[in-house]
Amino acid sequence: MEEKWELVGHIGVDAGLCWIGDPCYCVTPDVDEHPANTWDEFCNKLQKIEKRGVAQWNYKLGHRGLGVSVSTGYGDGVYPVYIKRGDEGRIAEVKVMFMNDEGD
């Protein structure tokens, strides 16, 4: 079976970065693991990503998995999102193209 990337949509970026993680861990009041108490505090923390353009976010007990933030190539814009499906048709991979071969 040939694996193909399927365009499924686009994401708009206005912060120059992308968050990958379960949205219930962002700022909901009923979750103990959220990384911030307000949306503004969460966005400010996201801006402090590592120099290499990525940051691993850990749960309060220190283990990985809360989320990952990455810078978005050239910053703000609209970026295509692709998926690959496994043999059963379930989503196996996701990819966001921040730059293509032409630098777009």
The pLDDT tens digits for 15-39 are 888 889 888 877 777 677 777 777 7
Which whole number is the average pLDDT over 74-93? 93
Rounded to two decimals, what is the model's pTM? 0.78
The pLDDT tens digits for 55-73 are 888 888 888 888 888 888 8
Per-residue confidence (pLDDT) for residue 2, from 0 to 100? 57
Per-residue confidence (pLDDT) for residue 30, from 0 to 100? 67
d(CA 41, CA 46): 9
**pLDDT, mean over the chain:** 83
What are the residue ranges of helices labelled H in the chain?
39-46
Please state the φ and ψ torsions of residue 95, each to the nearest 5 degrees. -140, 135
Q: Does residue 80 have a pLDDT over 90?
A: yes
Per-residue confidence (pLDDT) for residue 93, from 0 to 100? 95
Q: Does residue 51 have a pLDDT over 70?
A: no
**Residue among 27, 37, 19, 32 at smallest CA distance from 60:** 32
User: What are 54's two structure tokens?
Assistant: 């990525």
pLDDT band at 104 (very low <50, low <70, confident <90, very high): low
